[in-house]
Chain A
Amino acid sequence: MLALRRLAAVGSADVVCIAQERPEVAARLARRAGFEQTVLVDPAPYAVSRSFGVETVPTAVRIDVDGRARDRVVGWDAEGYSSLLGVVIDGEPRSKPGCVARGFFEESFGGLDELEDMFERGWSDGLPVVPPTPERVEAMVGGRDGARSLGLVPPAQGEATLERVAACAVLAGCRPAYFPIVVAAVEAALDPRFNAHGVAVTTQPAGPIVVVNGPAREPVGVNGGMGALGPGTRANATIGRALRLVLALTGGAYPGGLDRATLGHAGKLFCCFAENEEASPWPALHVERGLAPGASAVTVFAGDAPLSISDHRSKAPEELAATLAWAAAGQWSPFWWPMDDTSLFVVCPEHAALFADAGWDKERVRSAMFEAVVRPAGELRRGETTPLVHAADDDTPIQKWTTPEKIVLVVAGGEAGRFSAVFGPCDGMKSEPVTKEILWST
């Protein structure tokens, strides 16, 4: 970038930039640097770079009128570039070492092995993936019709055949036993009500959150107990990751490409957990949403990073409801009230037991949470404010959510510890949670 900026300032027509990047990345770098001369790309396997013997970037090579490579400057060296171009180059620093060029790194430090090949192909989410060999994918498909389509995945509209979904599941590190859950999650994400297109390309940090219910949890090993939202459980990590890879690879929503999340967050790598139905005093989420208790299901939400909510001292259910709800009050933006999007609360077993001991069902909890978070419009009219608040009288009471139904409660977590959590909402996408049954012979 330093070299590009300095050369952009010179504006010499004699400079061609060759970027070891994909075209859209090169375009973005050039725009940021203000570099308006010619930009060419040399993506993997970096044939042009190799032919010029480029070991470090930046490297500048002067080509004479006969097309022969003459002088070169390795790294940033203002005096060297001045000499090459015959112009004065201002600015500090005057010199800076470069970095190892792509292509050269692989050859010098062990060569292109399978795992590196996956990175080079762009099939990774930043972590190593399992190469999807035909044998692994066939095992994942498990005798089902690999050509069966689950639909087109936005934004690139790639077709999600079972074979491609299986490739993503292999890449993610899934076992074949996880595949029916992955398929159900993909079906839910491709339901128009979820708005996968909007969720995939937004500047918000949102990603898909998968909640698993029913008998499938135990044999597959989806964790809803201690550490449910964290690392450590293969099923949680790889099922969530497989769905993300379908959206990123089959759907073309590469971070930095069509995935425009300004910040993103680590949970976009994977977010999948089981509801702890055994610790819950209430009907399971999938039952609440209309399925039979004996069914297994996934519910996919759009949301962003979870906020931890500590409450170790509340004794009354009203107090706990207020703690949980007020924790979410600042999510999305502190003064953007009311919010017409889902807040997914994960209530830990100790907190759920407090409500149960008081005889509170989910409706009562939800209602108390909804009523607890209210402020007069005058206090909310600061900066990022809704049109409703702008138009309201100063003392009009405004709730955080438009309706109590925007508050969704599931129970998960270990038996000890009074930490619940709430996922940040996905705003403005009109994305609804979608539940799909897990079908073993799908």
Chain B
Amino acid sequence: MSCSVYDAVRLEQRGIPTAVVGTIPFVDEALEQARVLGMPDYRIVTIDHPIQLSSTDELHARADRAIETILSRLTKQFRS
């Protein structure tokens, strides 16, 4: 997660809105990594943990549940 947040910060600096998706136990790591790099308000998009033993259909279902949040992070169009 830490490396993904580091990627996101660099992409945001390049003007590329970036949504990082990770499972719930990584929220505080992501928060801390973003804070130390200078983006304390950066938030990842979370899905349920674990995923390694999930079926493909279950992974797709989690993507379906997360898509609105992903879109709201990337564009103004989907913000509530």
Number of interface residues of B (CB under 8 A): 13
**A258 and B31 in contact (CB under 8 A), knowing A156-B36, A157-B37?**
no
Give min CB distance, A130 to chain B, whole Å.
26
Main DSSP-derived SS at the B contact region: helix
CB <8 Å contact, B29 and A258: yes
Q: Which residues of A contact B1 (CB under 8 A)?
A: 201, 260
B58 interfacial contact with A, CB 8 Å: no
Contact with B along A1-38 (1 / 0, CB 8 A): 00000000000000000000001100110010000000
Q: Which residues of A contact B24 (CB under 8 A)?
A: 31
Q: Which residues of B contact A197 (CB under 8 A)?
A: 2-3, 6
B32 interfacial contact with A, CB 8 Å: yes
**Interface residue ranges of A171-194 to B (CB < 8 Å):** none
Picked from B27, B28, B36, the residue with its CB within 8 Å of the CB of A155 is B36
Q: Which residues of A contact B33 (CB under 8 A)?
A: 155-156, 258
Docked complex Cα distance between A28 and B27 (Å): 9
Q: For the side of the interface on A, what is the size category?
A: 10 to 19
Q: Which residues of B contact A198 (CB under 8 A)?
A: 3
**Interface residue ranges of A198-212 to B (CB < 8 Å):** 198, 201
CB <8 Å contact, B31 and A27: yes
Docked complex Cα distance between A159 and B46 (Å): 31
Picked from A24, A27, A28, A201, the residue with its CB within 8 Å of the CB of B2 is A201
A53 interfacial contact with B, CB 8 Å: no
Picked from A24, A28, A201, the residue with its CB within 8 Å of the CB of B3 is A201
Q: Which residues of B contact A154 (CB under 8 A)?
A: 6
Binding site for B on A (CB under 8 A): 23-24, 27-28, 31, 154-157, 197-198, 201, 252, 257-258, 260
